Structure 1
Amino acid sequence: MKSGLLLAGLALLAAPAHAQLTSAERLMKATVEAEQQRTLGLLERMVNQNSGSQNPEGVEKVAEIVRGELEPLGFAVRWIPLRETGRAGHLVASRVGRAGTKKLLLIGHLDTVFEPDSPFQRWVREGDKGHGPGAADDKGGVAVMIAALRAMQAAGTLRNSNVTVFLTGDEEDPGTPQSLARRDLIAAGKAADVALDFEGLAQEDGRDMGSIARRSVNDWQLTIKANSAHSSGVFSAASGYGANYELARLVDAFRREVAEPSLTFNVGLIAGGTTARLGPGGIRAEVTGKTNIIAGEAVARGDLRALSQEQIDRAKARMQVLVAKPLAGVVSATLTFEDGYPPMAPTAGNRALLDRLNGINRDLGLPAMAALDPLKRGAGDISFVAADVDGLVGLGPSSSGDHTDQERVDIPSMSRQATRAAILMSRLGRERR
């Protein structure tokens, strides 16, 4: 009773400064601020439990922490085990609200890039920063999501909202086959009207930015077989140029002739010599060769990132055309692709969601958020539902040093983001489908 009176009092105090907010929205803002220490306590517990993508038991333990937060809010929580993909699985929580209103899909992830053998394992508070593995990516985002849902519960707006929370256990290192690892997320996207991604808030020059697009990730591999002979005959019609020259020629041709706006082409591994063999997972190579022998084998691996499927298709087609015209002495040149994360194109529906968020920024007295250049953001799970539902990325906190032992979450941004999310979800959730 006392905490309810305190929150009501805080909401009344906030009213003159934010006249465009409803009383429920003022209460949501006050709830987020009053519960900041609780939210940080939850984040600390999650960070201190290792949940590297390849640590299924750890991922499941973080899922249980989250379950304990969502079930008291009226969510029906289920665990989708996916050990057959080499990963733990996914947590899905649903809450049924008023019939005929928009269905919201909230996306985040339980895993981090830090496995149990990493020395980076614990949460440390450093003033307005929280230092720890996954403090931002994405345990900070999960903490913001829960803070927003708790605020909605306190204000009574969660009761009528149709919300599904989908937290993957393998966003940082997806399980295989991908068709199974993302089957349930794709199905959830098809059933939703809006998707909100709680990965980190992007900033430029200290300004919060909105994200309405994410690029794809497609891996490629180029394998060259060529005549191997004495180096004295290199460049001759009989011996040709060898595998290394052909590989170098093609990789540079890709750079010069495939690139276009919003598309990047990376070469992550190159190996070539008399023999060149890739190791398990394609992340290491064993090479033999001598300076006086024309290279007989070469291989390169990399990724391709694009903003639309049409752009991916154009790039693949152009690369294959280049590969089909080999140098003399090349026996075979084979280019293969492996699909990863699909693109999330900057659609009109996504832009409209950012406009809605900027309406909330105006009502909160915060600056408008411009759309982030998608070149400045990596791929993410929301891309798997982007073809079926409008979405917005970056509702988690701002941070620095993600994916390194310098990862730090900006604590003040957590309350700002939770307030934005709570109001956005409440406004969207009462709209008709």
Structure 2
Amino acid sequence: MKTSKCMNSAIAVLFCFVFAATLNAQTSKKEQQLVDAVDTHLKDALSLLETSVNINSGTMNFEGVQEVGRLYQKELDALGFKTELTSGEAYNRAGHLVASIEGKKGPKIVMIGHLDTVFELDSPFQEFQMRNDSIVEGPGVADMKGGDVIIILAIKALKDAGLLKDMRIKIVMTGDEEKSGNPLALSKKDVIDAAQWADIALGFENGDNNPKTIVVARRGSSDWKLKVKGQPAHSSQVFSEKVGVGAIYETSRILNAFYEQLSEEKDLTFNPGFMLGGTEVSINTDQTGGNAFGKNNVVSQAVEVHGDIRAVSLEQLERAKKTMHAIVAENYPKTSAELIFDEGGYPPLDLTDGNTQLLATYNLVSQDLGFGSIEAVNPRNAGAADISFTSGYVDMAIDGMGLTGGSGDHTVEETANLNRLAEKAKVTAVLLYRLMAKQK
């Protein structure tokens, strides 16, 4: 692969950075070999990142998503993985890249990335550009092509050290993380199948972009609808026994009660994204808005509210749903209301003892390599991600192992810090080695 001129200026600085960090490393001979191997392959990894970022892979650009999949597939084929680009036809998406190598040592590990970005073909944000000698901007450079490249770079180091052939690893890079296909049972089947096989799940999203944090718990996300009905009449009759209060007053009661009873719940959020009300309401087929008709002197007959809810555990989610249903059932006179929760959505990644233990191991590796200590991300700062579909299947899971140090995710200001690429790959490679060595 060719490396652009804008990349060349950064490479020398990056090698100075990674060499200085290596000098402080407290590692075994084999671990030092992994660190050196990452440095050996760093230039190619930077070129791979640039190439993949310059391929538009907005979720609905199926051809572009598949092209990125083929690019990474070629890398993993060369490393000895059995690879497959799966079809996403059944859930109207591009499909996923699934790769596996099944040795006989250590725990079974699934490494999770994704091929797609939020930037479709009509986005003005399409190119990899160096802002200075370390900060790069580009569509998906952090979320999460940087994380995908970290996976490949760490795997190359393990192969150079003669360790890969003995390991048991599955890699799943989905093609629809940013805009999931429907139904989720098919869209996320490859992730769930890998989780059912695995003991440990490692996610390579960029977390909260802080290189000193790792995700041990993620909040799930699902949608809800509130449909409220009232008795239409002339406004002069509002509050009467025959007419009641109308749909809009009932809706305001419900939403206010949601706020009063649940807004102080730690790590729980529920947001009404849009609301339409009046005499008649119609919702667009894509569920992103609609139309309402009404008059100032008519008591409202219908209201519809669409929102989402995010909880840090299934227990918290079910408790919140129960409270919300109870609020909805206490109707004002001559009104009725129905609260509907989407049964799909992303589940929470529950905080478990295993996740905390895995963070402790990751933290020790980071310190031993001279990169400093790592702590857990506040779940409020970590959105939903594909690793959440491993919850309940694996013994241990962490996320946020991707390319950090930037900002502006999901905007045309998305950046990442290339100094972190080798650092994260080194920690990943040594972590995988220690997990294998621990269970020999």
TM range, normalised to the smaller chain?
over 0.9
- CA distance 1:415–1:321, change in 2 (3 Å): same
CA deviation map 1:232-278 (0-9, x unaligned): 11122221111111111111111111331111111111111111111
SS of equivalent residue, structure 1 residue 267: strand
- Percent of counterpart pairs with the same letter? 39
- Equivalent residue, structure 2, for 1:8: none
Q: Structure 1 residue 405 and structure 2 residue 409: aligned?
A: no
CA deviation map 1:377-408 (0-9, x unaligned): 10111110111111011110112100000000
SS of equivalent residue, structure 1 residue 184: helix
Question: Which of these residues, 221, 226, 230, is aligned with residue 234 of structure 2?
Answer: 230
Question: Which of these residues, 166, 180, 195, is aligned with residue 160 of structure 1?
Answer: 166
Inter-partner Cα distance in structure 1 for 2:376 and 2:391: 17
- Equivalent residue, structure 2, for 1:54: 60
Q: How does 1:286-365 map to 2 (within 5 A)?
A: 286-330=291-335, 332-338=336-342, 339-365=344-370
- Equivalent residue, structure 2, for 1:243: 247
Tell me how far 1:16 sits from its aligned partner.
6.1
Q: 1:105·1:192 contact (CA, 8 Å) conserved in 2?
A: yes
SS of equivalent residue, structure 2 residue 356: helix
- Equivalent residue, structure 1, for 2:113: 108
- 1:292 counterpart letter in structure 2: N
Deviates more, 1:364-373 or 1:413-422: 364-373
Q: 1:111·1:171 contact (CA, 8 Å) conserved in 2?
A: yes
- 1:118 counterpart letter in structure 2: S
CA deviation map 1:292-316 (0-9, x unaligned): 1111110111111111111111111
Q: 1:108·1:197 contact (CA, 8 Å) conserved in 2?
A: yes
Deviates more, 1:66-75 or 1:236-245: 236-245
CA deviation map 1:342-366 (0-9, x unaligned): 0111110000001101111221122
Inter-partner Cα distance in structure 2 for 1:16 and 1:85: 49
- Equivalent residue, structure 2, for 1:427: 434
Question: Which of these residues, 275, 278, 284, is aligned with residue 289 of structure 2?
Answer: 284
CA deviation map 1:322-378 (0-9, x unaligned): 111111121x31110013000111110000001101111221122211111111110
Inter-partner Cα distance in structure 2 for 1:17 and 1:246: 64
Question: Which of these residues, 172, 176, 181, is aligned with residue 175 of structure 1?
Answer: 181
Inter-partner Cα distance in structure 2 for 1:76 and 1:155: 20
Tell me how far 1:15 sits from its aligned partner.
7.5
- 2:168 counterpart letter in structure 1: N
Inter-partner Cα distance in structure 2 for 1:364 and 1:144: 16
Inter-partner Cα distance in structure 1 for 2:285 and 2:147: 33
- 1:242 counterpart letter in structure 2: G
Q: 1:171·1:381 contact (CA, 8 Å) conserved in 2?
A: yes
Inter-partner Cα distance in structure 2 for 1:381 and 1:416: 23
Q: Structure 1 residue 366 and structure 2 residue 371: aligned?
A: yes
Inter-partner Cα distance in structure 2 for 1:201 and 1:344: 13
- Equivalent residue, structure 2, for 1:3: none
Q: Which runs of 4+ in 1 moved over 4 A?
A: 11-16
- CA distance 1:16–1:254, change in 2 (3 Å): closer
- 1:143 counterpart letter in structure 2: V
- Equivalent residue, structure 2, for 1:255: 259
- 2:219 counterpart letter in structure 1: R
Tell me how far 1:149 sits from its aligned partner.
0.8
- Equivalent residue, structure 2, for 1:378: 383
Inter-partner Cα distance in structure 2 for 1:267 and 1:372: 26
- 1:346 counterpart letter in structure 2: L
Inter-partner Cα distance in structure 2 for 1:335 and 1:201: 32
Aligned length in residues: 419
Q: Structure 1 residue 268 and structure 2 residue 273: aligned?
A: yes
Inter-partner Cα distance in structure 2 for 1:12 and 1:240: 74
Aligned-CA RMSD value: 1.8
CA deviation map 1:90-133 (0-9, x unaligned): 1100012125x211100010000111111111111122111110
Q: 1:88·1:169 contact (CA, 8 Å) conserved in 2?
A: yes
Inter-partner Cα distance in structure 1 for 2:338 and 2:357: 43
- 1:247 counterpart letter in structure 2: T
Q: 1:161·1:430 contact (CA, 8 Å) conserved in 2?
A: no
- 2:354 counterpart letter in structure 1: G
Inter-partner Cα distance in structure 2 for 1:256 and 1:150: 53
Question: Which of these residues, 119, 125, 129, is aligned with residue 130 of structure 2?
Answer: 125
Tell me how far 1:200 sits from its aligned partner.
0.4
Inter-partner Cα distance in structure 2 for 1:122 and 1:228: 55
Q: Structure 1 residue 30 and structure 2 residue 36: aligned?
A: yes
Q: 2:209·2:407 contact (CA, 8 Å) conserved in 1?
A: no
Question: Which of these residues, 62, 82, 85, is aligned with residue 79 of structure 1?
Answer: 85
Q: 1:63·1:110 contact (CA, 8 Å) conserved in 2?
A: yes
- Equivalent residue, structure 2, for 1:39: 45
Tell me how far 1:35 sits from its aligned partner.
2.7
Q: 2:22·2:370 contact (CA, 8 Å) conserved in 1?
A: no
